[in-house]
């Protein structure tokens, strides 16, 4: 009954859906690019950032990657542009710009 769920979509007939709509894979949210939903976009000002890391845990979608205790640029594939990170940043290192692209 294990199925490649990437082949299932809204045109799939009921006979080919998984039993009980079980999702046969882990971490499938990664493949789903919610960044497309964005209407406003956060822009990271590396110079102004003090690496206080308040922004990273505040992001509801985990779109601020942290490596070696330092944050990196946004994961725009999944950032929905909610703006929470810009609100929590004490150093104005994150600015929200209009549109789906970081300008």
- By CB under 8 A, name the binding residues for another protein: 1-2, 10, 12-15, 17, 19-28
CA distance 72 to 20: 39
Report the residue number, 10 or 47, with the smaller CB distance to another protein.
10
Question: What backbone phi and psi angles, to 5 degrees, belong to 5?
Answer: -70, -15
Output the smallest distance, CB 31 to another protein, in A.
13
Output the smallest distance, CB 17 to another protein, in A.
5
Report the residue number, 21 or 90, with the smaller CB distance to another protein.
21
Rg of the chain over Cα atoms, rounded to whole angstroms, equals: 18
Report the residue number, 18 or 100, with the smaller CB distance to another protein.
18
Burial 31-69 (b: 16+ CB within 10 A, else e): eeeebeebeebbebeeeebeeeeebbeebeeebbeeeee
Report the residue number, 1 or 6, with the smaller CB distance to another protein.
1
Output the smallest distance, CB 22 to another protein, in A.
6
């Amino acid at each position: 009954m294990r199925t490649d769920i990437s082949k299932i979509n809204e045109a799939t007939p009921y006979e080919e859906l998984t039993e009980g709509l079980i999702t046969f894979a882990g971490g499938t949210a990664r493949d789903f690019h919610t960044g497309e939903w964005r209407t406003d976009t956060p822009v990271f000002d590396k110079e102004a950032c003090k690496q206080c890391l308040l922004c990273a845990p505040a992001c509801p979608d985990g779109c601020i990657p942290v490596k070696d205790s330092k944050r990196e640029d946004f994961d725009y594939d999944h950032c929905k542009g909610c703006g929470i990170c810009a609100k929590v940043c004490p150093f104005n290192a994150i600015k929200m710009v209009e549109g789906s692209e970081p300008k």
